[in-house]
A and B are shown apart, each in its own frame.
Chain A
């Protein structure tokens, strides 16, 4: 079995448990794969080779001793570089945190370890998760495995690229305005942004705390359910984590959508959404209808304000969350210590932060400053209420909402990076789920011009089960999850 790096998490953990495959031989197969393809893709910022090998040996030892192994026995997980890993540097793809080694693990990392997963390394991202292309990384762009000239989406582009290129079995990303779903769509992965509060954010380096969630990026819906079962659940260290009973999401993997009511918001298929992005999704909805679902057109009138409201809130929160980076206790500190504290602090932040991060901090500061607070920030929070009301109303008549994940196909690296506003527009279909806190999943739904297109499924709060069931039904009856990029 020379290509065991291809195994899915669910199969692999079974084989490791039964000692049919050793965690160590599988890990070596993945490491060889990384050595072969990552030069082209640049999915990783840091590879924790030694730590991973030591972990794999421990897991194999446990298996040999007949100890019970966890749900993710031997599963090789790549982690977005804004999730703290004890002893492994965590950079946020920023010069500011280039040498930052966290003294603690994020809760999701603790849970992965308890489930006997192996952390293989940290993946590239837009700096501080601010972007939709993974081009703003201080360490250079990640390339789309399907076409190396194209962006992989972002900001969790490294995680999504690593998974489809089989440089990891599964990955974690974070989603503030689409940062899991966008790269999942562009790389042909399954990506889930859970309901706000379902997964602990303890140890996630904060960008916009009222919007973001950690979630899985995988090649199959089954693996998505498996990872979610491990990482979700209450955590007393995150005060926004919700106290609901832990679930085994694998029980929702049923290929059946009979009686399911699908809502198609006309705003998700309207102006600004390319035909190539729409068609595969409409075909997918047609398939679901064949299997017994019904669908109707709905409307989210406040959608037209979603993007500006999202950016105003995200930037405002960013200006506050990123105020902590002064270079004193950790982070970039320039050799030149001349001047007073304010001057040193401002210099560290000019050199340590890239242009997009500085743009968002300054604009967020502006939106919160006296005289503009009401016009921008408070107004955006009211629009957030309007969008929530629209979704609540829509969900009275439908069980799920479907649309494209992205309004356009993956584009060329460098094509949009010089025009921030044009880049922000890419997030138009993903930000509503963050503003409302609702769960949303992107599942591969075909190809156009040899590039992947993702279908976005949005559900009611804490109804991840239905999202998984719909995605699973579609996946099992179509098979787009079996395609791999030519590497």
Chain B
């Protein structure tokens, strides 16, 4: 058990960036501390013997479920726009991309 190295705050910052989540300075410190404790606990699974054990992504034996490609009535144009806080005409308004 154990055997996991301590993750430095820089790495947490990097992962948070990948996840598109801004963290405040205080949160970076608290989260780093919590993550290290949680990951140390998770590392308990290292000791389990899983050689030649297949993966279970999913409990059902379903593979590629198909359905007929039928046309159904779609939503009216303004329906999907109703929940957007910023829009212009019939478009969602995005922030600057670059």
Contacts and interface: CB of A to CB of B under 8 A. Distances in A.
A385 B80 contact: no
Interface string B31-42: 100110111011
B65 to A, nearest CB: 4
Given A330-B83, A350-B21, A383-B50, A362 B31 contact: yes
Nearest to A422: B37
B22 A347 contact: yes
Interface string B55-66: 111111010010
A347 B75 CA distance: 30
Contact of A379 (B45, B75, B96): B45
Given A330-B84, A341-B96, 5 more contacts: A340-B95, A362-B19, A364-B19, A376-B45, A380-B45
Interface in A344-363: 344-347, 349-350, 353, 355, 358-359, 361-363
B9 interface: no
Contacts of A341: 94-97
Contact of B20 (A312, A342, A364): A342
Interface stretch (A21-29, A182-190, A234-242, A264-272): A234-242
Nearest to B66: A239
Contacts of A331: 83
Contacts of B58: 210, 240
Contacts of A70: none
A369 B15 contact: yes
Contacts of A260: none
Contacts of A344: 95-96
Contacts of B44: 304-305, 308
Interface in B7-58: 12, 15-24, 27, 31, 34-35, 37-39, 41-42, 44-46, 48, 50, 53-58
A101 B82 contact: yes
Nearest to B18: A365
Interface residues of A, number: 69
Given A99-B83, A376-B42, A345 B34 contact: no
A386 B39 CA distance: 21
6 closest pairs, A vs B, by CB?
A437-B59, A330-B83, A382-B50, A350-B22, A344-B95, A239-B65
B31 A349 contact: no
Contacts of B42: 308, 311-312, 376
A100 B60 CA distance: 32
Nearest to B96: A340
A361 B79 CA distance: 29
B56 A327 contact: no
Interface of B: 12, 15-24, 27, 31, 34-35, 37-39, 41-42, 44-46, 48, 50, 53-60, 62, 65, 67, 75, 79-80, 82-86, 92, 94-98
A363 B83 CA distance: 29
B55 A365 contact: no
A173 to B, nearest CB: 20
A240 B16 CA distance: 31
29 contacts: A197-B60, A210-B58, A308-B41, A308-B42, A311-B38, A312-B42, A319-B19, A329-B80, A329-B83, A329-B84, A333-B85, A340-B97, A341-B96, A350-B23, A359-B34, A361-B19, A362-B19, A364-B19, A365-B18, A366-B39, A369-B15, A381-B55, A381-B56, A382-B48, A384-B55, A385-B50, A421-B37, A435-B56, A436-B59
A266 to B, nearest CB: 19
A486 interface: no
A420 B38 contact: yes
A340 B98 contact: yes
Given A210-B58, A350-B22, A420-B38, A359 B31 contact: yes
A42 B96 CA distance: 41
Interface string A209-232: 010000000000000000000000
A148 interface: no
Contacts of B83: 99-101, 103, 329-331
Contacts of A309: 45
Interface string A233-255: 00010011010000000000000
Contacts of B19: 319, 323, 361-362, 364-365
Given A346-B21, A362-B31, A381 B57 contact: yes
A327 B22 contact: no
A362 B59 contact: no
A302 interface: yes
